[in-house]
Structure 1
Amino acid sequence: MPRGRVISQAFAVEEIIGHPAPRVWAALTDWPNAHRWMPGIDTITADGDTAEGTRLTFRARGKDRSSTIVRCVDGQSLVLRSVQGGVTADYTYEIHGHDEGSSRVTLTADCQSTGVLWRPMWPLLRIAIRTSDAKQLRLLKAMIEDA
């Protein structure tokens, strides 16, 4: 590993959502409504269909930011990559059929940083990411099941 590079999993969470996988996928990829389950996001738009290479632009905490879909298996999995400063974060969402009419959804956030300045900050960064985003699936579940 190059000097100063840190790679780590910030968190992994799972939820059972009481709806079939196609319904969960539709809600997960309904970008205009993603602010309802993505904490800190005010708006989000996609520059195309939900597919590899599509850029998502969102407003968070008063700033415009972006993510790119770097992997997409329609109806099953999606990886969103965000790059800010020396930190790259990959958020992997996976949907699997569970019991009849329900789905098991997982979210894993993997982060990579470069530069020696990030090494001492890494534990705090992981905590901040986990605190902010680990509740996404819980909020997605509430949004879908309350509809």
Structure 2
Amino acid sequence: MAQAFSVEEIIGHPAPQVWAALVDWPNAHRWMPGIDMIAADGQTAEGTRLTFRARGKDRSSTIVRCVAGQSIVLRSVQGGVRADYAYEVHPHDEGTSRVTLTADCQSTGVLWRVMWPLLRIAIRASDAKQLRLLRATLEDA
């Protein structure tokens, strides 16, 4: 897997509150650019499938790793590209949290390997702002 991007944000709320907002799937569209809706087919746990509408198409992700209150990895497979989005939430200073998002991608086929530099730029441009938007969503609440 190759890293598309990694970002970090300090959010002025305690880690449990940030985690709750992070896994509040019905409201995730507020901080995930390009996502119109997300629904989970069960509890937030490994193996749970998330169905979402993005850019007019229905897509899905699977939670492949989850440590409740601390970290979660969402895996999507679209065509020849597999993307893992790893979110981590840690207490920072009193009443604040440090949140990280790392997007790793793997592509198959010659075309995807040739397109990787452009795909990486597109993924970063679209999704690297998620944590800033999550912070803004919590601050507006």
Question: Normalising by the residue count of structure 1, what TM-score does the alignment of the two structures yield?
Answer: 0.95
**Partner residue, 1:136:** 130
User: After superposition, what is the alpha-carbon deviation per residue over 1:29-53, rounded to whole angstroms, capped at 9, x for unaligned?
Assistant: 0000000000000010000000000
Question: In 1, Cα distance between the equivalents of 2:115 and 2:106?
Answer: 12
Which amino acid letter does the alignment assign opposite residue 75 of structure 2? R
**Partner residue, 2:58:** 64
Question: In 2, Cα distance between the equivalents of 1:122 and 1:94?
Answer: 25
Asked if 1:99 is matched to 2:93, the reply is yes
Aligned-pair distance for 1:8? 1.1
Aligned counterpart in structure 1 of residue 113 of structure 2, from 119, 129, 132: 119
Aligned-pair distance for 1:28? 0.2
Gap regions ≥5 residues in structure 2: none
Question: In 2, Cα distance between the equivalents of 1:26 and 1:95?
Answer: 10
Q: Report the secondary structure of 1:50's partner residue.
A: coil
Which amino acid letter does the alignment assign opposite residue 76 of structure 1? Q
**Partner residue, 1:108:** 102
**Partner residue, 2:21:** 27
Question: Normalising by the residue count of structure 2, what TM-score does the alignment of the two structures yield?
Answer: 0.99
Which amino acid letter does the alignment assign opposite residue 79 of structure 2? G
What percentage of residue pairs aligned between the two structures are identical? Answer: 86
Structure having the higher Rg: 1
Gap regions ≥5 residues in structure 1: 1-6
Which amino acid letter does the alignment assign opposite residue 35 of structure 1? H
Which amino acid letter does the alignment assign opposite residue 102 of structure 2? T
The number of equivalent residue pairs is 141
Question: In 1, Cα distance between the equivalents of 2:121 and 2:26?
Answer: 28
